[in-house]
C-alpha cells in the first residue's frame, strides 16, 4: 500500500514525499460503513451506513451525543476495529483488502491516534513514552529517544523529557500523547476527545497545539469532541447521530443548534438501534 507521510521535516524520515505536494486530493473515504454491536441481546449500529470523504490537509471535527459512536467511527478509520460491512479507503486502498502486516503498518505509520485517556505508561519517562511507536517499528532506543525529544520540543515539553509520565499534569500528559501520536510522521491525526479531561485553559492550549501541528506538519486531522466552540474552529464540522454522519454546513450556527440538540438528547444515547442486520 501507499506510505503517505506528513511533511514532518527534521523529525522523521526525509525521503517521504510530503503531502503538501499533493494537496486537494482525497486521502480517506468510507463507503456505506457499518458497525453493529450486540449488547444485552440488542443490536445497535453506532455507525450505520456512513459515506464520508476527507481531502488531504483538512481539519475536521466530529461532534455528537455521548454514546453516538464517535469513538467507534474513529476506531474504524484507524483500523483499530473492523467494520461489520462497508469499507474504509486510505489513499485509495481498501483497508479490508490489506494483509495483517500491512494493517499493522497502517496503524503504526500512517495514523497517529490520540486517545481521550492518553494511555501513557506512568512509570516510563515522557521521552520513552513518545519513543514507543518507533521502538515498536524496530528502531534503536537511542534513535527513538533522540526523535522523541525533538517531538517533545514541538509540544513545548523539552524540559520534561526525563520525567515519569505519571508525574506530569493532565495537560502535559495530553501533550506527550500528541507527541507520541506524531512520532512516526503519520499522514492522519485522529484524536478522540483530546481535550475531554482538561479544564478550559488547558483544553484551549492543547487544541491550539493541534491546530499548529496540523498546519506545520501538513496533517489531515479528524477530532472527535464535545467542545463545540473548539469544533467550530475546524474547517468542517460533522454531527454523528443515529448511526449517520451529517455535515453542519454553517459550522458555527449549526454547531450551536446541535449543542441544543445534544443537550436535549440527554447525557447518553446508544447509537442507532437495529432490528435486522
Ligand atoms: N465493544 C462494544 N460492544 C458493545 N457495544 C459497544 C462496544 N463499543 C461501543 N459500544 C456501544 O456503541 C455505542 C457507541 O459508543 P462510542 O464509544 O463509539 O460512543 P461515543 O460517541 O464515542 O461516546 P462518548 O462521547 O461518550 O465517548 C454505545 O452505545 C456503546 O455502548
Ligand atoms: Mg467516545
Residue numbers of the domain that contains 69: 26-274
Which ranges of 78-199 does DSSP label H, i.e. alpha helix?
A: 100-105, 126-136, 141-154, 170-182
* Ligand 1, pocket-test mutation among 41, 63, 72, most atoms within 8 A of CB: 72
| Mean model confidence pLDDT for the chain | 86
State pLDDT tens for residues 54-71: 999 999 999 999 999 999
Share of the chain above pLDDT 90, in %: 75
Please check whether residue 10 lies inside any domain of the structure.
no
| φ, ψ for residue 103, nearest 5 deg | -65, -40
Q: Is residue 144 part of a domain?
A: yes
| Helix H or strand E encompassing 153 | helix 141-154
Atom 3, ligand 1: residue with shortest CA distance: 37
Nearest CA to ligand 1 atom 9: 72
Residue 229 has pLDDT above 70, yes or no: yes
Give which of 220, 209, 185 is closest to 11, Cα–Cα.
185
Ligand 1 near 133 CB (within 6 A): no
Mean pLDDT, rounded, for 72-98: 97
Question: In the predicted model, is pLDDT for residue 224 greater than 50?
Answer: yes
How many angstroms separate the alpha carbon of residue 4 from the centre of ligand 1?
30
Residue 272's pLDDT is 52
pLDDT at 231 > cutoff 50: yes
Has residue 67 been placed in a domain?
A: yes
Question: Is 9 contained in some domain?
Answer: no
Residue 147 lies in a domain: yes
Answer whether 64 contacts ligand 1 (Cβ < 6 A): yes
Is pLDDT at 250 greater than 90 in this prediction? no
pLDDT recorded at residue 4? 55
Strand, helix or coil at 206?
helix
pLDDT at 275: 36
Q: Which is the closest atom of ligand 1 to the Cα of 240?
A: 21
Residue with cell 459512536: 69
Domain count for the chain: 1
Cα 70 to averaged position of ligand 1 atoms, centre (Å): 8
pLDDT (mean) for 140-155: 96
Which ligand 1 atom is the nearest neighbour of the CA of 268?
A: 26
Q: pTM of the full predicted structure?
A: 0.87
Q: Over pLDDT 70: what percentage of the chain?
A: 81
Residue 169 covered by a domain: yes
Least distant ligand from the CA of 70: 1
Judge whether residue 19 has pLDDT over 50: no
Task: Band the pLDDT of 261: cuts 50, 70, 90.
Answer: low
Q: CA 128 to CA 79: how far, in whole Å?
A: 25
The rounded distance, in Å, linking the Cα atoms of 204 and 234 is: 13
Within-domain flag for 187: yes
Whether the pLDDT of residue 254 is over 70: the answer is no
Q: Considering only residues 85 and 229, tell me which one the structure prediction assigns the higher pLDDT.
A: 85
Cα–Cα nearest to 49, from 92, 82, 87, 80: 87
Q: What is the CATH number of the domain that holds 136?
A: 3.40.50.300
Per-residue confidence (pLDDT) for residue 20, from 0 to 100: 41
Is residue 7 in some structural domain? no
pLDDT, residue 265, reads 47
pLDDT value at position 40? 87
Residue 256 pLDDT > 90, yes or no?
Answer: no
Q: Encode pLDDT of 178-195 as tens digits.
A: 999 999 999 999 999 999
pLDDT per residue as tens digits for the range 112-125:
999 987 689 999 99
C-beta 72 within 6 A of ligand 1: yes
- The residue-averaged pLDDT of 18-37 equals 80
Amino acid at each position: 500500500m501507499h506510505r503517505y507521510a506528513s511533511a514532518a521535516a527534521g523529525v522523521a524520515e526525509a525521503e517521504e514525499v510530503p503531502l503538501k505536494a499533493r494537496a486537494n486530493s482525497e486521502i480517506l473515504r468510507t463507503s456505506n460503513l457499518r458497525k453493529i454491536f450486540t449488547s444485552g441481546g440488542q443490536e445497535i449500529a453506532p455507525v450505520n451506513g456512513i459515506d464520508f470523504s476527507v481531502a488531504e490537509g483538512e481539519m475536521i471535527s466530529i461532534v455528537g451525543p455521548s454514546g453516538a459512536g464517535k469513538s467507534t467511527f474513529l476506531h474504524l478509520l484507524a483500523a483499530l476495529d473492523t467494520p461489520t460491512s462497508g469499507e474504509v479507503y486510505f489513499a485509495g486502498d481498501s483497508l479490508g483488502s490489506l494483509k495483517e502486516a500491512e494493517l499493522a503498518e497502517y496503524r503504526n505509520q500512517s495514523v497517529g491516534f490520540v486517545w481521550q485517556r492518553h494511555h501513557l505508561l506512568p512509570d516510563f519517562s515522557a521521552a520513552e513514552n513518545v519513543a514507543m511507536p518507533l521502538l515498536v517499528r524496530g528502531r534503536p532506543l537511542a534513535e527513538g529517544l533522540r526523535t522523541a525529544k525533538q517531538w517533545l520540543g514541538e509540544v513545548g515539553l523539552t524540559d520534561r523529557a526525563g520525567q515519569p509520565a505519571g508525574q506530569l499534569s493532565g495537560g502535559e500528559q495530553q501533550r506527550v500523547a500528541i507527541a507520541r501520536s506524531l512520532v512516526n510522521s503519520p499522514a492522519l491525526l485522529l484524536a478522540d476527545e483530546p481535550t475531554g479531561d482538561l479544564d478550559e485553559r488547558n483544553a484551549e492550549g492543547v487544541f491550539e497545539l493541534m491546530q499548529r501541528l496540523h498546519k506545520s506538519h501538513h496533517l489531515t486531522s479528524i477530532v472527535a469532541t464535545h467542545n463545540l466552540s473548539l469544533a467550530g474552529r475546524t474547517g468542517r464540522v460533522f454531527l454523528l447521530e443515529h448511526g449517520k454522519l451529517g455535515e453542519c454546513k454553517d459550522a458555527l450556527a449549526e454547531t450551536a443548534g446541535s449543542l441544543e440538540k445534544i443537550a436535549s438528547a440527554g447525557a447518553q444515547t446508544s447509537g442507532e438501534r437495529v432490528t435486522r442486520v
